[in-house]
Amino acid sequence: MESPVLRVENFSAHFGEITVLSEVNLAVQHKRVTALMGPSGCGKTTLIRCINRMHELIPDAGVNGKILLHDDDLYKMNPILVRKKIGMVFQRPNPFPTMSIYDNVIAGYTLNGIRIKKNEKDRIVEESLQKAALWEEVKDRLHKKGTFLSGGQQQRLCIARALAMNPDILLMDEPTSALDPKATTHIERLITELKKNVTILLVTHNIAQAGRVSDFTAFLYLGELVEFGTTEKLFTVPEDKRTEEYLSGKFG
């Protein structure tokens, strides 16, 4: 197996006096889907917000330990560069409301002041929408606002926006929790397709979803990483009683 694309080493995070993550160690494999699971408040979202340096934007928030992307310490890099290399898709679709579909996809370039030629923009928009399985649905109305799309389409637009920056890793924070079952199936199929080109870290409450789309699963509980391994092994023969109880629905 090749070396991990991302390594979390003895990593802790806090808000003031409250510890949210404690001594987490995790290796994320290249072009695989790693699911982060656990009950509400266990630290899943905090972990991915630390990975793309959003945690520190909150007053009194702090971290200890290391997160390495290809051996580079994320906390010694410019946060803007980190967010170009590590894209983020949130729980609720959040296209920029005043922007067209086209401008939403290219927003990472515009907002970071990266100048590119019109034909290059066109190529990035088309490729990103193709990757997000949205091109055929919107190619004739690229200059309409992104907010007129359905919820599932808006979420795929947000995925296209993240992919446009050509990230190494895509973080997805419960990307289907606000969607109906049909749109959820669409996104799950898309995740399976996307891992051919990008590494995905997926926060999900949905145990069945983790089972369907992930290669590896990390189970967090009260800020600690309880167990980590292949999804198949963790789901069939968990080593820790807490993992087993969570998977069988005893708490969550």
199-203/33-37 β-pairing: parallel
- The set of long-range contacts for 79-85, using a CB threshold of 8 Å and a minimum separation of 24, is 79/53, 80/112, 82/52, 82/53, 83/52, 83/53, 84/108, 84/112, 84/165, 84/167, 85/167, 85/168, 85/169
- Cα distances (angstroms) measured from residue 18 to each of 1, 22, 60, 154, 249: 37, 11, 10, 35, 27
pLDDT, block means (10 residues), the chain with 252 residues: 89 95 97 96 94 93 96 94 93 94 95 91 97 96 94 96 96 94 94 96 94 97 97 96 92 68
Q: How far apart are CA 28 and CA 87, in angstroms?
A: 15
What pLDDT score was predicted for residue 74? 96
Distances, alpha carbon 199 to alpha carbons 32, 56, 196, 202, in Å: 5, 23, 8, 10
Task: Kindly report the pTM of this predicted structure.
Answer: 0.94
Whole-number pLDDT of residue 250: 80
Give the architecture-level CATH label for domain 6-247: 3-Layer(aba) Sandwich (3.40)
Query: What is the CB neighbour count within 10 angstroms for residue 115?
Result: 7
The residue to which tokens 């600690």 are assigned: 224
Q: What is the pLDDT of residue 93?
A: 92
The pLDDT assigned to 192 comes to 96
pLDDT at 3: 84
* Residue ranges per structural domain of the chain: 6-247
HEC letters along the chain: CCCCCEEEEEEEEEECCEEEEEEEEEEECCCCEEEEECCCCCCHHHHHHHHCCCHHHCCCEEEEEEEEECCEEHHHCCHHHHHHHEEEECCCCCCCCCCEHHHHHCHHHHHCCCCCCHHHHHHHHHHHHHHCCCHHHHCCCCCCEHHHCCHHHHHHHHHHHHHCCCCCEEEEECCCCCCCHHHHHHHHHHHHHHCCCCEEEEECCCHHHHHHHCCEEEEEECCEEEEEEEHHHHHHCCCCHHHHHHHCCCCC
Token readout for 187 is 């996104």
Instruction: Give pLDDT, residue 252.
Output: 64
